[in-house]
Each structure stands twice: as structure tokens, then as C-alpha cells.
Structure 1
Amino acid sequence: MPEWPEMENYREQLAAKIAGQPIIGAEVSREKSINMDKETFIRELAGRTVWFVERRGKMLVFHLDNGKRLVLHLMLGGMIRFGGEEDLPGRSVQVAISFPNGTLSFIGLRLGYLHLLTAKEVAGKFSELGPDPFDVRLTPVRFRERFRGKRGSLKSALVDQHVLAGIGNCYADEIAFDAEVRPDARLQDLEPETWDRLYGSMRKVLREAASYGGYMEMPLSSEDTRTGGYNERCRVYDRGGEPCPRCGAAIEQGEIGGRKFFSCRSCQRDR
């Protein structure tokens, strides 16, 4: 599932392609992927202009010139593609929105969705999300406070969207590795300096991953050569059995609450 870096990468690319562009048409082949009947959805979008593209956690928000917003959550299996029909990857398109310079296709939205909402509805939808990892109000002290009173493993807390918005399986492991702490470490055992390292590692890893287009190799367009560039730079995620890039010991794979995790038992500590 796309996480903070993947969606930030898409946001940057889409902002350059469609911000300020009018919508000249829309098609819907799967009504369950939207939140109204398709005739109303298409009519509501006709002639509207995308003012700017925002990211909130793992979601994208397309701000329209009439104050409404399109909220996209790709979930598992979803992807987006911008260009002509010849640029499509051969999978079914659930929704397509056309602009003068190309069509934005929403693909594989079986679990994901594209909803047209008012500003108030969006605020309500996001009200239970935790802060963005780069929220200016999320200081190291407030970062630690987000986990106060919680029990269980570090990874389970990092991927909880009510705690922080945008981190998933891949980057929880990468952040823990960078901070030299095990993903299955118990929250209540972590030392103050470990929390400081986690805060710094979170920002470092997410920023670096976004600069390389994230780890998921799903390019936005035919000329997109950045998306997926972080996959080969992952230190531990999906690297079970490979040597640790820090100490050389074998990277191990485990499971926490049904989620797999990857770590180095030799150089990642439990507190």
C-alpha cells in the first residue's frame, strides 16, 4: 500500500501536471469507487478547475475551484496513471478524469476510493487522523506524547494512523532500523534517547524515500523515472536473509499482530 513518500511523490508530480487545469470530462466504470451516482459525479466535475493538490497521510486531496475536494485513497492494489490511453498498464480503470494535457486514470480501486466531498465533510473525515510527520507542531516532545499511555510494539504504534498519519509497514521498519531499535520493542520499555532517535529517523527516512519516489514501482506517467527509486535503497524491508548494511548480520523476518517485519537482531535494540 502506498505510504507517505509514495503519496508525496505523486502529489508533487500531479501538482506540476494538473494544478490550474480545467476538467474537460470524466468517466466512471465502477460506481462503488465513488460516493454518489456516476451521473452526478461526472456533472459535478464538469468544467471545474483543480486549484492545488494536497496530501494528508496516505491520501491525496484535489482542491477544486468551487470549494469541493476529491479525496483519493488508493488502499491495497490501487494506482494512478497520467497520460493517454496508450500509457495505461492493462488493468481496469474505475474512474478517469480528463484534462487538456492528459487523463488521470484511477486503477484497481477495489478497496480504495475517490470521493467528492465538501470542505466540512473532509474535515470530519480527517478528524481522527494523527498529525503529519512533518507538521510544524509535531516537536520531539509532542511526538513522544502521541505514544503516551499506549502499549504493545513500536511497529504497531507507528502504523496506527490515529497516532501519526502516513507511515505503513515499509517505513515503520526502515525508521526503526535507522533509529537502531527493534520494530517489536515494547513501547513502555523505550528510553528517552530512543524516542529522540526515532523522531529524527522518521523525518530523515521519509524525506529521503520521497526524494527517490518511494519504494513502490508504480510510475505516474511514461516519462516518470523517479517513482520506485527507493526500493533498491531499503535497508531492511523485504530483505530477509540478506546481510545487514550496518553490521553484516543476517536480516530477520518476524511477525507482529499479523504484520511482517524485518530487522537486524544484532544491531537493533529492544529499548
Structure 2
Amino acid sequence: MPELPEMETYKRLLSERVIGKNITAVEVTREKTVNVPVDQFIKEVQGCSITAIERRAKFLVFKLNSGKRLLVHLMLGGVMYVASEDDDIDRTKQVTLSFGGTRLFFIGLRLGYLHLLTDGQLEETFEDLGPEPTDPSFTVNRFLSLMEKKRGALKTTLVNQKFLAGIGNLYSDEICFHAKLLPKRQSNDLSEQEKTTLYNSIQTVLARGIQLGGYMDVPVYKGDQLTGSYNHHCFVYDLEGQPCQRCGQPIIKDEISSRKTFYCNGCQK
């Protein structure tokens, strides 16, 4: 499932290609992907332009000049792809937005969705989300304050969207490795120094993920060399049995709260 760095990459690359352009055609091939009748969805979206794209947690928000918002959550297996007139992608598209010769495909949304919402509805969707870990206002002191109340495994804490928004299975493991902490450590057992180290690792790993374009397999457009580069730079995720780059011991695959988890038992404490 795409996490904060992947959605930030989409935000950046899609903004360069569709902001300010009129939506000339809308095609919906799966009714369950949208939250209103298809005819209504097409009527309200076609003819609008996208004025901005914003990210919140693992969501993207396409702001329309009509005042409405398109909210996308890709969930497991969802991707977006921008195609030019002489380009296409051999995947089933649930929704297609056309901008003249440019088309934005929403693909693999079996669990994901593209909803047409008002600002009020958008606020309701986001009201239970925790703070954005990469926001400048999210200081180490705020993090320490939040951690005072947490119980349970560190892995479970990091992926809790009500605690922090945007971190999922992959980056929680990468953060724990960077902080030299086992993901099964109990959050309430961490010292203040370990919590401070964890905060710094959250900032470092997420920034690194964004810089490397996340881990998505499908490029955002033909010729895209950024998206998915993190696949080749993981510390521990999906590297079971391979030597730890820090101490050489084999990476372990485990399960914590029904989530697959990767870590090094040698240098994570």
C-alpha cells in the first residue's frame, strides 16, 4: 500500500502535469470506485480544472475550481498513471480523467476509491488522523508528548494512523532499523533518548523515501526515472535472509499484530 513518500511523489509529479488543465472527459468503468452515481460524478467533474493537489496521510486531494474535491486512496494495489496521446498502459482503468490529449488513469482500485466531496465531508474524513510527521510544526517535543501516552509494540504504534499519519508497513520497519530499535519493543519502555532517536529516524527515513521516489513499481508517466527508486535502497524491508548492511547478520522476517515485519536481531535492540 502506498505510504507517505509514495503519495508525496504522486503529488509532486502529478502537479507538474495536470494542475490548471481543464478536465475534458471523464470515464468511470467501475461504479463502486466513486461515491455518487456515475452520471452525477461525470457531470460535476467534467469541465472543471484542477487548481491544486494536496496530500494528507496516504490520501491525495485534487482541488477543483468548482469548490468540490476529489479524494483518492489507492489502498492495496492502486496506482495512477499519466498518459500522453501516443502512450497507454495495459492495465484495467477504473476511472480516467482526460485533459485534452493527456489522460490520468486510476488503476487497480479494487479496494481503493475516488470520491467527490465537499470541504465539510473532507474534514470529516480526516478528523481522526494523527499529525503529519514531516510537517515543520511536528517537533520533537510534540512527538515526546504523544509517546508518553502510547502502549504496545513500536511497530503497531508507528502504523497507527490516529497516532501519526502516513507511515505504513514498509517505512515503520525502515524507521526502526535506522533508530536501531526492534519493532517489537514496547513503546512505553523506550527511554527519552531512544524516543528522540526514533523521532530523528522518522524524519530521516521519510525524507529519504521522498527523495528516492518511494517504492512503487509503476512509473507515474513514460520516462519517469524517479518513482520506485526506494526499492533498491531498502534497509531491511522484504530482505529476509540477506546480510544486514550495518552488522552483517541475516535480516529476519517476523509477524507483529498480523503484519509482516523485517528487522536485524544483531544491531536493533
TM-score (norm 2): 0.97
Q: How many residues are treated as equivalent by the alignment? A: 269
Deviation at 1:85, TM superposition (A): 7.1
| 1:7 counterpart residue number | 7
Residue by residue over 1:7-46, the C-alpha shift from the partner in whole angstroms, topping out at 9 and shown as x without a partner, is: 1001000010011111111000111000001110000012
Aligned partners of 1:101, 1:177: CA distance in 2, in Å? 45
Deviation at 1:87, TM superposition (A): 3.9
The residue type equivalent to 1:192 in the other structure is E
Aligned partners of 1:76, 1:144: CA distance in 2, in Å? 31
| 1:126 counterpart residue number | 126
Moved more, 15-24 or 78-87: 78-87
Residue by residue over 1:187-220, the C-alpha shift from the partner in whole angstroms, topping out at 9 and shown as x without a partner, is: 1111111111111111111111111110121211
User: Are positions 1:258 and 2:250 aligned together?
Assistant: no
User: Are positions 1:114 and 2:151 aligned together?
Assistant: no
Q: Is the 8 A contact 2:50 2:62 kept in 1?
A: yes
| 1:170 counterpart residue number | 170
Deviation at 1:145, TM superposition (A): 2.3
| 1:186 counterpart residue number | 186
Match of 1:149, SS state, is coil
Moved more, 32-41 or 138-147: 138-147
Matches within 5 A, 1:7-156: 7-84=7-84, 87-156=87-156
Structure 2 unmatched ranges of 5 or more = none
Deviation at 1:59, TM superposition (A): 0.7
Structure 1 unmatched ranges of 5 or more = none
Against the structure 1 CA distance between its residues 116 and 10, is the aligned structure 2 distance closer, same or farther, given a 3 Å change threshold?
Answer: same
Match of 1:250, SS state, is coil
Aligned partners of 1:30, 1:240: CA distance in 2, in Å? 37
Aligned partners of 2:218, 2:64: CA distance in 1, in Å? 26
Q: Is the 8 A contact 2:175 2:205 kept in 1?
A: yes
Residue by residue over 1:166-203, the C-alpha shift from the partner in whole angstroms, topping out at 9 and shown as x without a partner, is: 00000000011111101111111111111111111111
Deviation at 1:101, TM superposition (A): 4.4
Aligned partners of 2:200, 2:49: CA distance in 1, in Å? 38
The residue type equivalent to 2:81 in the other structure is R
Match of 1:230, SS state, is helix
Q: Is the 8 A contact 2:85 2:102 kept in 1?
A: no
Match of 2:147, SS state, is coil
Matches within 5 A, 1:231-242: 231-242=231-242
Identity %: 47
Match of 1:146, SS state, is helix
Aligned partners of 1:22, 1:147: CA distance in 2, in Å? 45
Match of 2:10, SS state, is helix
Structure 1's consecutive aligned runs of 4 or more residues displaced over 6 angstroms after TM superposition are: none
The residue type equivalent to 1:160 in the other structure is N
Aligned partners of 1:88, 1:81: CA distance in 2, in Å? 9
User: Are positions 1:160 and 2:160 aligned together?
Assistant: yes
